[in-house]
Structure 1
Amino acid sequence: MNTSTFDLNLLRVLDALLRERNVSRAAERLSLSQPAVSNALGRLRELLDDPLLLRVGRTMQPTPRALELEAPIRQSLQQIELSLLQGACFDPARSRLQFRIAVTDYVELICMPALMRRLAEQAPGVRIAIEHLDPTLPAERLDKGELDLVLGRFTEVPARFARRHWARETLRLAVRREHPLVKDEPDLAAFLRLQHLWVHGGQTRGMVDQWLTEQGFERQIVYTTPNYLQAAHIVASSDLAAVLPTQLARHFAALLPLTLHELPFALGPFELDIVSVAQRERDVALQWLIGQVASVAPRLADAPADQAPFS
C-alpha cells in the first residue's frame, strides 16, 4: 500500500463504521449515502487486505485487524480536529455540540439538574447524553472518544487521563423510621447486627468494607445493587440498612421515611473526580464544559443540615 496516495477520508469512514457497526447508521453519522459508505468499505478492504467488518446476523463485527486500528485512527482524527480548532472561537450560545458523560445515578442526581439549568442560560443548543458508569473507570471508551467525561470516585486513574477533583463527600447510615434494631445512634456492634444493602456503583470495593476488613470485622450484606436511587426506596420500605453518600441520603430523607445516622467509625470524606483524556486539554469546547461542571459542584456534605444540598 502506498501511504502517500492513501485517501485519508477513508479513515473517517472506518471510524464511523467501527462506532456504529452498521452501514446505514455510519452513513447517517457522516452525512453520506449508504452506497458511498459501502463503496468506501470495499476500498478499505482492498487497500488493507482485510475484511475489517463481517456481518453477523443484523450487526457487523470488526476483525482483529480492525480492532487493532480503531484506537490509533480515532486518536489521530481527534488530534487533527483539535489542531484545526486551535485559535478557533468556541461560542457556547451558538454551539450544537453533544457531550457524552458517564456517571452513577447518584452523581447524575446531584450534578445534572444544576448543570442543565446553567446550560439553558448559557448554551441552550448544547446536548448532554448520560451513560451509566460501570464499577471501574471506562478507560477504553474514553480513549476511543466514545465518552467525553466521567464523573465518579476512582482509586486509580492512569497517567494518560486528566483528573480534576470535583466534590468532597461523606457517608451516612440510612434506615427506615422505627427500625426495630436502631433506636439511637448505633455503635459498631449494632451496626454489624444489621442486614445491609450495598450499592456498588462506580467502585469495586467500598470504603466501609475495606475498613471493616482491616479491623477484622464483616457486615451482613444481603442485597447488592448498582443503583443508589433504588437503594433509598428499598431501605425506606424494609429492614435493610444502607450506607449512602450524605448528599443523597439527605435528599431522600426529606422525601421518604428514613432516618440518618453517623457511622460508628471514622472514615473521613472522599473525593469525586472529573476524568477526561489528557490529550484533549486543548479542546476548547470540552474544557468549557468541564468548567461548567466544576461550577455546579455541591458543597461539602457535612454542611449544616438546613442548607439545601442541591442548590
Structure 2
Amino acid sequence: MRSLRHFDLNLLLVFEMLMRERHVTRAAEKLHLSQPALSHALKRLRDALDDPLLVRTEHGLQPTPRALQLLPIVQQALAALQAGLTPPATFDPATSTRRFTLATTDYFEEVMYPAFLSQLLGYAPGISFSIELITPEVLSEALEQRQVDMVVGLDSQSSLPSGVVQTPWMHEELVCLAAQQNPHVGDAVVLEQFARQLHVELADISGLLPSPIENCLTQHGLSRRVISKNLNYIAAARVVSLTDAIMTLPRQMAERFVAMLPVRIVAPPAELPALTMTLIQHSLYANAPANVWLGEELTAFSKNTHR
C-alpha cells in the first residue's frame, strides 16, 4: 500500500475481527456481513498489504508475521478512533467543580442571579460563577477564547459579530420610574408627554445595543433630553428619586427600587416595545455539555420566574 488515500479504512475493522476470530464465517457474523463479502474484503486486504495475512493450516487460519506485526497498530488506531467518535460525557452538575464566567446586564445580576445561584447550589454544590460586564471585547474575543462562557440578558436587537449564536431567553415589560413627588407625570404617560420629560438612562458600554426608545421616538418624529447616563440601575434610580427626570427599565427591576427608594412606577407609552433578552455564546462551544446544561438551566429558571 503506497498511500492511505487509496486504502479503505473499513478494511481495518475486517482485519481486526479476522485476527480475533481466525474464522471467516464467525468474523462475517460478528460484522453482520455475508461470507462472500468478507472473503472479498480479505482479498482486498491481501492485495493492499501485499501479504496473505491469514494462512490455512492444520490448526485453522493462522496469522503471518506481517499480520501479527500490524495487529497492535490497527487495534490502537481503532481504539483511538472509537474514543474520538464517542460523544462527550454528559455534564454532571452534582460532581462538577466548574467555574462559569458570565457577562451580564444589571437586570440579570440584580433580579435573577441571586435566586438562580441559590437554586443551582442545591443540586450542583461544586459549581461557581464569575460575573463580568458586557463589553465589545467580550463579544468579539472573550467568547471565542472561552474566557467568557455566556452573555446573559443582552437585548435581541443588538448587533453581534460573526461566530456567536443568540438564543431568545426571556421577555420583560418595560415601565417608567419617577420620583414620588414628581409633579409632571401621573400614573401613566402617553408618547408625546413621555418625550417632553427629562430622562435618565443606562450607558451602553457594549457599544452594540441600539436604543429601542430612541428608535420609537424617531419613528414618531419625537426626541427627548437625557440628563444623565449611568453605569448601573441603582445609581440611575437614585438620580430619578432626587429629580424630576424619569427612566425606563424592566418591571421587576423597577419594583425593587419602589421598595428601596421614594419612587413609583408609571405606565409607559403603549408604543414602547417590550424587552426581549437573549443568551449568547460562541458557536465553537454551543454544543459543549456544560454550556448546554447552563443554557437549559437559565431557560428553565426564567420560565419558572415568569409563571
Q: Tell me if both proteins adopt one fold, taking TM over 0.5 as the criterion.
A: yes
- List per-residue Cα deviations over 1:229-251 (Å, max 9, x = no partner): 22122212222211111121122
Deviation at 1:129, TM superposition (A): 0.3
Distance 2:287 2:135 in 1: 27
Does structure 1 residue 273 correspond to structure 2 residue 275?
Answer: no
- Alpha carbons of 1:127 and 1:216: their partners in 2 closer, same or farther (altered >3 Å)? same
Does structure 1 residue 199 correspond to structure 2 residue 231?
Answer: no
Q: Aligned partner of 2:170: which letter?
A: A
Say which SS state the counterpart of residue 297 (structure 1) adopts.
Answer: helix
Distance 2:194 2:273 in 1: 18
Match of 2:221 among 200, 216, 220: 216
- TM (norm. structure 2) is 0.65
Deviation at 1:169, TM superposition (A): 1.4
Q: Do 2:202 and 2:229's aligned partners in 1 also have CA atoms closer than 8 Å?
A: yes
- List per-residue Cα deviations over 1:19-43 (Å, max 9, x = no partner): xxxxxxxxxxxxxxxxxxxxxxxxx
Q: Aligned partner of 2:155: which letter?
A: R
Partner of 2:178: 175
Does structure 1 residue 296 correspond to structure 2 residue 297?
Answer: no
Distance 2:85 2:118 in 1: 31
Say which SS state the counterpart of residue 260 (structure 2) adopts.
Answer: coil
For structure 1, the residue ranges without an aligned partner over 5 or more in a row are 1-82, 300-308
Deviation at 1:175, TM superposition (A): 0.4
Deviation at 1:257, TM superposition (A): 1.6
Partner of 2:169: 166
Q: Do 1:168 and 1:270's aligned partners in 2 also have CA atoms closer than 8 Å?
A: yes
Match of 1:153 among 152, 155, 159: 155
Q: Aligned partner of 2:256: which letter?
A: H
Q: Aligned partner of 1:198: which letter?
A: E
Matches within 5 A, 1:133-152: 133-134=134-135, 138-151=139-152, 152=154
Q: Aligned partner of 1:199: which letter?
A: L
Does structure 1 residue 261 correspond to structure 2 residue 266?
Answer: yes
Deviation at 1:137, TM superposition (A): 6.5
For structure 2, the residue ranges without an aligned partner over 5 or more in a row are 1-83
Partner of 1:115: 116
Distance 2:238 2:141 in 1: 33
Distance 2:139 2:234 in 1: 22
Deviation at 1:182, TM superposition (A): 1.7
- List per-residue Cα deviations over 1:190-218 (Å, max 9, x = no partner): 32332111113455431111111122211
Distance 2:244 2:144 in 1: 43
Distance 1:119 1:84 in 2: 31
Deviation at 1:121, TM superposition (A): 0.5
- List per-residue Cα deviations over 1:60-112 (Å, max 9, x = no partner): xxxxxxxxxxxxxxxxxxxxxxx699432432111111111000112211221
Say which SS state the counterpart of residue 185 (structure 2) adopts.
Answer: coil
- List per-residue Cα deviations over 1:130-149 (Å, max 9, x = no partner): 00113787222111111100
Q: Aligned partner of 1:248: which letter?
A: M
Deviation at 1:268, TM superposition (A): 3.1
- TM (norm. structure 1) is 0.64
Partner of 2:94: 93
Identity %: 27
- Alpha carbons of 1:287 and 1:184: their partners in 2 closer, same or farther (altered >3 Å)? closer
Query: Mean alpha-carbon deviation: is it higher for 83-92 or for 259-268?
Result: 83-92
Distance 2:140 2:86 in 1: 25
- List per-residue Cα deviations over 1:31-56 (Å, max 9, x = no partner): xxxxxxxxxxxxxxxxxxxxxxxxxx
Distance 1:225 1:176 in 2: 17
Partner of 1:237: 242
Q: Do 2:138 and 2:148's aligned partners in 1 also have CA atoms closer than 8 Å?
A: no
Aligned length: 221
Partner of 2:251: 246
Q: Aligned partner of 1:153: which letter?
A: D
